[in-house]
Chains A and B, each alone.
Chain A
Amino acid sequence: MSVSDGESPVTAPAGGQAHERKAPRAAVAPLTLIRHALTTREGSIIVITAALTVYFSLSLSVFFTTANFENLLPYFAPYAILAAGEVFLMINGEIDLSIGGCYLFAPLMFYEFHNGGIPLIPCTILALIVCMGIGVFNGFVTAVLGVNSFITTLGTLFTLEGLTLIVSHAEQLEMPGAQVVSNATGNHITSFASAFGAGTYSELFWALGIVLVLQVALTRTRWGLHTIAVGSNRIAAAEAGVKVRTVLIRNFVVCSTLAGFVGILEAVRSNSITPDPGAANSVLLDAIAAAVIGGTLLAGGSGTVVGAMIGALFLGVLQDGLAIKGVNADYLDFYLGVAILVAMLINRYVGRARRRSGLG
């Protein structure tokens, strides 16, 4: 989306630097910049998240510290990855609920493959291939057989959660490769574990990398263009020659593969496979909330991966801040819900303002 070249000189400084040189207008600069930031697709959620961070930083001395940032990461990074995949499907005008199922099922597959004597990295790959298969199934049933994706993936969600319970006998398992190893140099985690979730910044790096790749894919490749086209006007896209089914299936595959990957990261991080469908469902809903808060429309046609990441950050900051504040755990979901509603209402207002202002 083009932020830099606006139409009227008042609302649109042509690039920050060019504007600074024009001294007489310096007074309006901060205001127009804020207005500008608010009218980009990600702008509103960036401002809201920043405001929330400032609030918590001022009211809680421990909030703006490295230690707390590290605490916050697990509330943020996994959701950023899950939401990134979900954004592609939501732009298509579809939804994938089965990410909760893949999230739960992939680490268990990993465990079973490892029990079969396969090394850790191939186990990861095999588990992700299983997830790809789930994505192909979701995509086929939705795009080819024409079942609504909400229904398709609701079915896959329950099926996978049920399978996880059956295979694991509903018992918690230790995640292979995630144990702390003791040797001459002391206790440390394996390099596999530190790369795949257990390292302090491992999930953050994965999240930033995946978000970057997918945002570029969305805005600068054929795949992204066709994804938007399918979501905006499916018939017109097909008439222009876009392979609608391929686009849909591919996005389902990306979504479930990322969900499986996050499941493995989280299992390594926590050193356990916990077959808890309730927790998986809440992960799934948080990921969708992050995408929606970030400015992706459920109706399809428009969305942003970076926005979804900021949406995930917003949820992370909110949960972490409320927890430090000592808010009664019973109130947490309530505040979360209200915050989501408020953020959405602001988004909606800003979206309308954006369309009026003529910015992309």
Chain B
Amino acid sequence: MIVAPVSADDDVLRVEHIAKSFGPVTALRDVSLHLKKGEVLGLLGDNGAGKSTLIKTICGFQKQDSGQMWLKGQPYEPKSVEQARTLGVDVVYQDLALIDELSVYQNMFLCREERRSRLPFLDRRRMKREARAALNEIGIHLPRLDVPVARLSGGQRQSIAVARGVYSEADILLLDEPLAAMGAKEGAMILELIARLKAEGELSMIMILHNYVHVLESCDRVNMIVDGVIALDKPTAETSLEELTEIVVDEYRRARLAAQAQEAADAAAEASAPAAE
């Protein structure tokens, strides 16, 4: 019998001591985080800090090397994206995750296609209708849903990706830079949608964002990953733009010092080498 870790009753997701390496590269050293029901958690961190790796682990795309995850108090070990989805965890990747050759509605329904009862044939009309309704609700108006998404703008593609996740009946939605490639107007639309979902209180979200202003505006709490560990965990009300910026600046400072130290060591080694010859 596995006992769930001590946690607040309203934690829908707990991640405990997750580590993940790709060959010699350590992406996640030791990450623990938790997510309450209806909460929006902003995930910050530099490029390569491990944010996307964490998201991909939670959504079932890849398995962690060590550590456990708990979903609504139950051990959570998704073996595939599809399995995670049936358990109520869905993910919105960056806009690159659309299939260029497929149309808008085909992308929105990829891997959860609607079929006509019993027959293997896809119910295209129904998928188009539902896709149209979902996009209208977000406020995205595309003239046609049967054109390949390759023809759409970056913002339109991103909004399709977000709509795909939001209308998947998930309890937990992971968003990997939902505002990437978006103009201000489209971005505002997505933030508004997220605010609306937050107000409804059913969906819990983890969002990777780069813009700190967006984080402070739309998230309840912020976690910052630095070098594969969570370096900061605070409600957005208790932190500030300055504090978040300071952490990053500090990290750069340390990285530069480390690089300088390494350089000096290399130079010293080089200087002593000819003498030994």
Residue numbers of A with Cβ under 8 A of B are 2, 5, 7, 216, 220-223, 225-226, 228-229, 231-233, 235-243, 301-302, 358, 360
Contacts and interface: CB of A to CB of B under 8 A. Distances in A.
A240 B111 contact: yes
A103 B106 CA distance: 36
B234 interface: no
A220 B100 CA distance: 18
A221 B121 contact: yes
A222 B120 contact: yes
B100 A225 contact: no
B82 A233 contact: no
Contacts of A223: 120
Contact of A233 (B85, B99, B120, B121): B99
B143 to A, nearest CB: 8
B11 to A, nearest CB: 26
B233 to A, nearest CB: 27
Contact of B122 (A222, A237, A239): A222
Contacts of A225: 102, 106, 110, 113, 122
Contact of B113 (A222, A233, A238): A222
A302 B150 CA distance: 13
Most-contacted residue by chain B among A5, A226, A232, A235 (CB, 10 A): A232
B99 A232 contact: yes
A239 B93 contact: yes
Given A222-B122, A241-B81, A241-B110, 6 more contacts: A216-B121, A225-B113, A232-B102, A237-B99, A238-B81, A241-B80
A229 B110 contact: yes
Contacts of B248: none
Interface of B: 56, 61, 80-82, 85, 91, 93, 96-103, 106, 110-111, 113, 115, 120-122, 124, 144, 146-148, 151
A237 B151 CA distance: 19
B101 A301 contact: yes
A236 B147 contact: no
A225 B100 CA distance: 12
16 contacts: A216-B121, A222-B113, A228-B102, A229-B102, A231-B101, A233-B96, A236-B97, A236-B99, A237-B99, A238-B81, A240-B97, A240-B110, A241-B82, A241-B110, A242-B110, A360-B148
Given A221-B120, A229-B102, A360 B146 contact: yes
B101 A228 contact: yes
A145 B117 CA distance: 37
Contacts of B115: 222
A231 B113 CA distance: 18
Could you say which of B101, B124, B144, B147 has the most chain A C-beta atoms within 10 Å of its C-beta? B101
B10 to A, nearest CB: 28
Contacts of A2: 146
B120 A236 contact: no
9 closest residue pairs by CB, A with B? A241-B111, A232-B101, A241-B81, A236-B97, A241-B82, A301-B101, A229-B99, A240-B110, A232-B99
A236 B98 contact: yes
A38 to B, nearest CB: 19
A223 B111 CA distance: 10
B85 A241 contact: yes
A239 B113 contact: no
A130 B158 CA distance: 46
Nearest to A223: B120
Contacts of A237: 99, 110
Nearest to B97: A236
Contact of B99 (A216, A228, A358): A228
Contacts of B111: 226, 240-242
Nearest to B110: A240
Contact of B100 (A7, A232, A239, A360): A232
Contacts of B100: 232-233, 301
Nearest to B85: A241
